[in-house]
Amino acid sequence: MKKLAVLVSGGGSNLQSIIDETKNGILKDIAEVVIVISNNPSAYGLTRAEKANIKAVALDYKNMDGKDYDAKMYNLIKESEADLICLAGYLKKIPEKIVNEYKSRILNIHPALLPKFGGKGMYGHFVHEAVVKAKEKKSGATVHFADENYDTGSIIIQKEVPVYEKDSADDVAKRVLVVEHEIFPKAIKKVIENLE
């Protein structure tokens, strides 16, 4: 059974899909979420964790020294004995120490088909707005290994969705989110199987 540390900044719907799959889906008997950490004390993802009886920790990024924040996060992940770190809508850069120690064991979900529409500032709604503005015919979601830069690590899994001419950013976001919930647990399973 592999232990997962999940990092969230907001609603945590991807966290929920991971929790659901560990209980009754493709991750059952191979993975469990042992800790959820957020840089945002009011993130609903923390409530989701608590409802599932998972340790939930808020590190208030805005009111902490950067080095202190990084050290606390590192210690929490170490203490949880996590095998994998899953970034489920986590919007901060991962501390270098964690990136180095957990090489090829940090997974991030991105709401576009990387390498397109990735990088600093490209998250959430900004991604879908950029996709619509660029008149793309398709978008989708990508799970990739996180490294020291935003959205540059090698891709584990991608899935496309169509983008229609009359789509708003919201329309694209809804379609992409469905795919995110589907592929994140699949990517975790794939990585776990490669760790064995």
Residue with tokens 């889906």: 25
Instruction: Report DSSP letters for 87-100, one per residue.
Output: ESS--SPPPHHHHH
- Known catalytic residue at 110: yes
What does residue 48 show for φ and ψ, rounded to 5 degrees?
Answer: -60, -45
Query: Which H helix or E strand runs over 44?
Result: helix 44-51
Give the span between the Cα atoms of 189 and 84, in whole angstroms: 11
What does residue 11 show for φ and ψ, rounded to 5 degrees?
Answer: -65, -30
Contact 80, 35 (CB under 8 A): yes
Q: HSE on the CB side for 2, CA within 13 Å?
A: 22
Are β-strands 106-110 and 138-145 bridged in parallel, bridged antiparallel, or unpaired?
antiparallel
Q: CB within 8 A of 101, min separation 6: which ones?
A: none
Residue with tokens 């490294």: 147
Q: Which of 110, 128, 144, 181 is catalytic?
A: 110
Q: Which residues are catalytic?
A: 110
